Amino acid sequence: MPLTKTRSAVIKAITSCVPSKYFDNVKDTTEFDIEEVKKVVRMAGVEKRHIADDSICSSDLCISSAKDVMRSLDWSPESIDALIFVTQSPDYFLPSTACLAHRDLGLSANCAAFDVGLGCSGYPYGLWLASMMLQGPGFKRVLLLHGETPTRFANSSDRAVALLFGDGGSATAIETSGTNEGNNDWFFSVHTDGTGYADLIIEGGGFRDRFPADKKSCFVHMNGANIFNFTIKRVPSLVEETLEGAGISKNEIDYFIFHQSNRFIMSHLAKKMDLPKEKLPMTIGEFGSAGGPSVPLTVVNGGLSRPTGKALKLLLLGYGVGLSWGSALVDLSPEAVLNHLVLDTDN
């Protein structure tokens, strides 16, 4: 069983960020018949979406978030040992977006900074990498930045995706507790099935087809049926194996934080796994499907009840493009600072 356990990593703060410009699917859509739009809204649950204009990249949303967590924790730039930037909507093919963030945050030359090219599964993968980096004696503080601007690669006339996507970014500050004692065990399960690579893909614009004749191939294409099947096949077993590996029951989980792919699919999964609705916060109505960053967006904005003196046990679940899927079973202490920003754009 591909389950990893780490010790001593602690989430100190998470800040999420969305662009101020938003789109009301029912009021603002002109591309599709209004009855069709209402039907999609009812099913997918996407009422509003925050969208980046052409001047906003995932880096802007994440860097604003990172500045916020550094300010709230009083972390100096020199104290940060690594920056991981998880995105599939980078500013450039090269250099890595992590290097741009490194510059804007004023981090030191001793800080490792690199990108991870994952989407929907990116948050559990990012936390896994960050916490693995904190197992040794060298690194003490890691910034995990995870942002996407899927509205910028969605064809506005493709109903399968146009009404679903929203944009968002996040920064998570992770620190080692400096001890292997105590209750800091985190569990991760990470998976891949590359045979489904074409089920969610932007075929053009990369080096396989650098300057495509058909510009539409620079937009994302999704095979909804295959993605649905992948989800209902993989997510229940992902939850099961994580809980079994960690030796806890689902009753001990305070919240299951799903990648906000589609309300219908999440509700179906919850029903299939017999998860109580109140343990499955949804933010898709407000933010749309913001890819992998929908997980930290939901931790921050999902209305989690946080009693003083008790850490929450969260099962974070990411699944989609790749095909790639992963879980992170982590604690969120009552001291962890959660914040949400809205980045001003020209509306």
Partner 1 sequence: MTQEEAISWIADMFNEPAENLTPDTPRDSIPEWDSLGVLTLMAEMDEKFGVVLSDEDTEGMTKVDDLLQTLRQHGKLES
**Interface contacts to partner 1, rule CB under 8 A:** 39-40, 43, 159-160, 223-226, 228-229, 232-233, 264-265, 268, 271-272
The distance of closest approach from Cβ of residue 39 to partner 1 in the complex, given in angstroms and rounded to an integer, is 6
Q: Please report how close the Cβ of residue 211 comes to partner 1 at its closest, in angstroms.
A: 30
When the beta carbons of 296 and 322 are compared against partner 1, the nearer one is 322
Of 196 and 318, nearer to partner 1 (C-beta) is: 196
Least distance CB 223 / partner 1 (angstroms): 6
DSSP 234-290: HHHHHHHHHHHHHT--GGG-SEEEE--S-HHHHHHHHHHHT--GGGS---HHHH-B-
Q: Which is nearer to partner 1, 224 or 285 (CB)?
A: 224
Among candidate residues 254, 249, 260, 270, the one with its CA nearest the CA of residue 332: 254
Cβ-proximal residues to 305 (8 Å cutoff; 6+ apart), any chain = none
Minimum CB separation of residue 204 from partner 1 in Å reads 22
Alpha helix (H) residue ranges in the chain:
25-28, 34-44, 58-73, 97-105, 122-133, 159-162, 224-246, 263-273, 284-287, 294-301
Give the shortest CB-236-to-partner 1 separation in angstroms: 10
Nearer to partner 1, 215 or 233 (CB): 233
Cβ-in-10-Å burial (0-12, 13-18, 19+) of 344 comes to: exposed
Give bridge partners of residue 171 from the DSSP assignment.
Answer: 15, 145
Per DSSP, 313 falls in state E
Beta-ladder partners of 335: none
**Shortest CB 166 distance to partner 1, Å:** 19
d(CA 192, CA 323): 6
DSSP secondary structure letter of residue 54: T
Minimum CB–partner distance for residue 169 and partner 1 (Å): 29
Q: Which is nearer to partner 1, 140 or 191 (CB)?
A: 191
CB closer to partner 1 out of 180 and 229: 229
**Beta carbons within 8 Å of 189's beta carbon, 6+ residues apart:** 1, 2, 3, 4, 238, 241, 242, 245, 326, 327
Q: How far is the CB of 44 from partner 1 (least distance, A)?
A: 8
- Compare residues 40 and 190 and give the one whose CB is closer to partner 1: 40
C-beta of 272 vs 310, nearer to partner 1: 272
For residues 164 and 311, give the distance between their C-alpha atoms in angstroms, rounded to a whole number: 33
